[in-house]
């Protein structure tokens, strides 16, 4: 697998170092180098899509954290910075890794290998849906976790992340994914959206009480905009 990558950094020496690391890594292809995020935003739109972006945080104009929110979900971010205090913020924008300058090649390579792993998993997941996949991988607290589909009760969408509620588990799995992204990863034969903030596994629906699906002590609302699709499913399985 080869990854297209780009570098955004307003420090020429830091940019040249990352460039040298990219050039000595056979599965990376450098698509562009930019001294600021505004330039990158304009130029990257005209070029081949970037898989992996090495992004400085403290830059004039648009900083790296702001810029990371503007790129596609399919572009993975590795922050490269001299400041450790942004580590928590990098997690909130779902960065793949966070490298502190001066960056060694070993640290760089570990981050790149995470990216390779992520893209391979995504490809495997996409391919396996046709074969009725039995699990998915999600990123949670800088870890990739395997989630068996059979254990998912429902998925709850919050402002910046989702909660995956699992059968037999007291705590949900938290991940910085959008509900739209999660819905696209799940087979509609198995899962159904019942609310802007909820996706449920069809086979886990045991009780519906006054317009709400009941999971143990939790009551999940069914919104009007999704009610008909759920009713169609229930009609197919009612006697």
Q: Give bridge partners of residue 136 from the DSSP assignment.
A: 147
pLDDT at residue 8, rounded to an integer: 94
Residue 204 contacts residue 210 (beta carbons within 8 Å): no
**How is residue 110 written in tokens?**
């570990």
Average pLDDT over residues 216-231: 91
The pTM of the whole model exceeds 0.75 = no
pLDDT at residue 88, rounded to an integer: 63
Please write the tens of the pLDDT for every residue from 178-207.
898 888 888 888 999 999 999 999 999 999
User: CA–CA separation, 198 vs 64, rounded Å?
Assistant: 31
Average pLDDT over residues 158-186: 89
Please write the tens of the pLDDT for every residue from 112-154.
998 988 888 776 655 444 345 688 888 887 788 889 999 999 9
Share of the chain above pLDDT 90, in %: 46
Instruction: Give the angle 84-86-92 at the CA atoms, nearest 5°.
Output: 140
- Residue 57, Cβ density class (10 Å: 0-12 exposed, 13-18 middle, ≥19 buried): buried
CA dist list (Å): 162 to 11, 42, 45: 36, 31, 29
């Amino acid at each position: 697998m080869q990854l297209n990558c780009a570098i955004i950094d307003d420090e020429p020496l830091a940019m040249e170092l990352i460039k040298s690391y990219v050039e000595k890594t056979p599965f990376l292809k450098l698509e562009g180098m930019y001294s600021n995020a505004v330039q990158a935003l304009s130029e990257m739109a005209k070029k081949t899509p970037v898989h992996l972006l090495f992004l400085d945080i403290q830059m004039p104009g648009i900083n790296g954290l702001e810029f990371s929110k503007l790129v596609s979900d399919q572009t993975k971010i590795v922050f490269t910075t001299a400041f450790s205090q942004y580590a928590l913020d990098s997690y909130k924008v779902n960065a793949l890794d966070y490298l502190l300058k001066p960056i060694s090649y070993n640290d760089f390579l570990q981050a790149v290998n995470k990216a390779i792993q992520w893209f391979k998993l995504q490809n495997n997941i996409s391919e396996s849906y046709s074969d009725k996949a039995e699990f998915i991988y999600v990123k949670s607290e800088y870890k990739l976790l395997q989630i068996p589909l059979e254990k998912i009760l429902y998925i709850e969408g919050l402002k910046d992340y989702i909660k995956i509620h699992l059968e037999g588990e007291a705590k949900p799995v938290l991940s910085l994914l959008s509900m739209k992204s999660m819905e696209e990863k799940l087979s509609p034969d198995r899962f159904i959206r019942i609310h802007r903030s909820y996706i449920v596994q069809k086979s886990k629906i045991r009780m519906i009480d006054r317009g709400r699906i009941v999971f143990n002590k939790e009551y999940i609302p069914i919104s009007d905009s999704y009610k008909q699709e759920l009713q169609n499913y229930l009609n197919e399985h009612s006697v």
